[in-house]
Amino acid sequence: MEGVSYQRFPKIKVREVKDDFMKFELRDTDASIANALRRIMIAEVPTIAIDLVEIEVNSSVLNDEFISHRLGLVPLTSERAMSMRFSRDCDACDGDGQCEYCSVEFYLRVKCLSDQTLDVTSKDLLSSDHTVVPVDYSDASSSFDNTPNKGIIIVKLRRGQELRLRAIARKGIGKDHAKWSPAATVTFMYEPEIYINEDMMESLTLEEKTELVESSPTKVFGIDPENKQVIVVDPEAYTYDDEVLKKAEAMGKPGVVEIHAKEDSFIFTVETTGAVKASQLVLNAIEVLKQKLDAVRLSDDTVEADDQFGELGAHMRGG
């Protein structure tokens, strides 16, 4: 095995990027790295979320625990989360989790003084740090009634009802609780390779070609209006359902279409909660993955693995 290298150099090509959405290609790697990146984005990239609530007055219809749970699920802007300390590791407050290095304070003081129902929303939360505030969804295009977005509703108050509380937000990861997950969804699929056997396709009538195209539940194929040939319209719409292949076999033309998955090429779709931008989520996930790999390479366990597994253990450590 001397002189053999298993090192690969993955590449990323960004296709589309918005604040809360990103689509990119990951090439020249395998499914283990792709899935590791996906799992880290969901569960191991840190964000900031409310973790402790001290309620002074609550005369609303919801009990204290219900309100505390709703506050914990409000996404907070978390650009500085990577540089913050975990409360359990903070030496400035001895792990108490209530200092400027590992926490952010929020206050909420609302009382309904009119006969109209008062919505208490995330915009009523006052932060001690202007960089850590509830995510603003006012630019979202999903407002059906064209009314201005007032934030995430926490509770509704009637005349005379009041809510006063203090909340502490801390750094955490989705593996500990879903409220710290920055990802709404992260998916990847193998990039498909689709081949059409032109010679066999010529033997099909226009009606048979139409049946073959329409057998796909998604619009992967189409018929060229000029030469009436079957063409690939959108290969990424293929969902690996094999319906086209089954139809070709039923028509007695197996091999007229061949579809293979590229085992070293993946298409990622990332949507975030707004706590961090989609592009930053991907970068943070790569940084976390690098830290985990460095920890494996430098730990004493891998040195012991050299004795147990010989050359393989040394290779895993980068030696």
For residue 233, the SS3 value is coil
The average pLDDT across 157-175 equals 96
The pLDDT of residue 50 is 96
The pLDDT of residue 153 is 94
The pLDDT of residue 319 is 47
What HEC string does 244-260 produce? HHHHHHHCCCCCCEEEE
Q: What is the maximum alpha-carbon separation in the chain?
A: 81
Q: Who contacts 299 (Cβ-Cβ below 8 Å, separation ≥6)?
A: none
Q: Which two tokens stand for residue 170?
A: 């801390």
Residues 293-308, buried b or exposed e (16+ Cβ, 10 A)? eeeeeeeeebeebbee
Residue 141 has pLDDT above 50, yes or no: no
Amino acid at position 65, single letter:
E
The pLDDT of residue 247 is 92
The average pLDDT across 17-33 equals 94
pLDDT of 65-91, one tens digit each? 999 999 999 999 999 999 998 988 888
Q: Whole-model pTM above 0.85?
A: no
Q: With beta carbons less than 8 A apart as the criterion, state whether 55 and 67 touch.
A: yes
Task: Give the Cβ contact number of residue 284 at 10 Å.
Answer: 23
Please report where in the chains the tokens 């001290």 appear, as a residue.
54
